[in-house]
Homo-oligomer: A and B are copies of this chain.
Amino acid sequence: MEEKQTTFKPLDPLLHSELRLAVMSILIGVEEADFVYIKAQTGATAGNLSVQLDKLSAAGYIEVEKTFKGKKTCTICRITGKGRDAFAEYVETLKQYLQIPKV
């Protein structure tokens, strides 16, 4: 019987994206963050950020709440448990590629 030499575990494609990863990186460290803040921190265009937040939200990695800040609309994002788990697993998987020992 042939043993498959699965040296590299696949990387979650939802997280293996520069902008989405930056968003998750921000959200994992805070209670919540709004669209404008995330946009400033990442330097992303509004369009790109909107699309990527939708994808994270559709995957259940974040939740998005639309509220108001005074009269202005305000889009607040939070990481979910599922998102936290996925991020943690992504980090562990990536360590293999980066040759960083698992702690």
Q: How large is the interface on A (under 10, 10 to 19, 20 to 34, 35 or more residues)?
A: 20 to 34
Q: Are A42 and B7 in contact (CB under 8 A)?
A: yes
Residues of A within 8 A of B (CB): 4-8, 10-11, 16, 18, 21-22, 25, 28-29, 40-43, 91, 94, 96-100
What is the count of identical protomers in the complex? Answer: 2
Residues A29 and B99 in contact in the complex (CB < 8 Å), given A7-B42, A18-B16, A40-B5 = yes
From the candidates B4, B5, B42, B96, name the one contacting A8 in the complex (CB within 8 A): B42
Q: Are B98 and A6 in contact (CB under 8 A)?
A: no
Measured CB to CB, the closest approach of chain B to A55, in angstroms, equals 17
Known: A25-B98, A29-B99; 10 extra A-B contacts, CB below 8 A, are: A5-B41, A7-B41, A7-B42, A8-B18, A8-B25, A8-B43, A22-B97, A25-B99, A28-B99, A94-B98
